[in-house]
Amino acid sequence: MLSKLLQTANLFHLLFFIDSELAAAKRSAGCPHCGGPLHQSNYMRQPRGGPVGLPAEYCLRRSLCCGRDGCRRRSTPESCLFMGRRVYWRCVVLVATALMQRRAESQSIGQLSRLIGVPRKTIMRWFDYFAEVFGNSSEWLRIRGFLPATVSNDCLPVNFLEYCIMQSQDALSGLVMCCHLLGRGG
């Protein structure tokens, strides 16, 4: 069910809309360094793992640049679509890792790899990242205090994703909620 969501343009449309709102809010707040006006300075990414035929604007990584002489610093707003510098969409990383954690013993990593369209080595790297690094990351620590104890650090991101789905009306809304909370850092 989750793997099918990765092939729906509606998911990416919702995440793009949220990213647009986050960028607009950051832009209206002004430069965090000097208070000057922020101008758009977006750049194209070539993310992997989504459906074919997504609009090119969904591949834009929002970025802002201060318009005040002497500052001109870049300010990148939070993102629900992108997870740091990773090449894959945030939702693909979350779903692939969650499916890896909850896969049946009869399902191999190779089968999961073919289902999602992500190489086995990449899935294993993400699995290691969530098992060893993510639980102590500032991104996770910012929102951890708002969650019940049932969302443990022992099995991230699947515990958090399942929590978001249970709080939402369906899997699509839950995945969007999960990306939104992680993208905003709380």
The stretch 76-88 carries a mean pLDDT of: 94
Q: Where are the alpha helices (DSSP H) in 68-135?
A: 90-102, 109-116, 120-132
Q: Percentage of the chain with pLDDT > 70?
A: 99
* pLDDT tens profile 95-107: 999 999 999 888 8
pLDDT of residue 186 exceeding 60: no
Query: What pLDDT is stored for residue 170 in this prediction?
Result: 95
Structurally, the chain folds into a number of domains equal to 1
* pLDDT tens profile 63-78: 999 999 999 999 999 9
pLDDT of residue 185 exceeding 70: no
The region, left, alpha or beta by phi > 0 then psi within -120 to 50, assigned to residue 185 is left
132: containing domain: 2-184
DSSP codes, 26-46: HHHH--TTT---EEE--EE--
SS3 content of the chain, % helix, strand, coil (to 5): 55, 10, 40
Query: What pLDDT is stored for residue 54 in this prediction?
Result: 96
Averaged confidence pLDDT in the chain = 94
Separation CA 186–CA 167 (nearest Å): 16
The closest alpha carbon to 158, from 94, 104, 107, 84, belongs to 94
pLDDT of residue 173 exceeding 80: yes
pLDDT of residue 169 exceeding 90: no
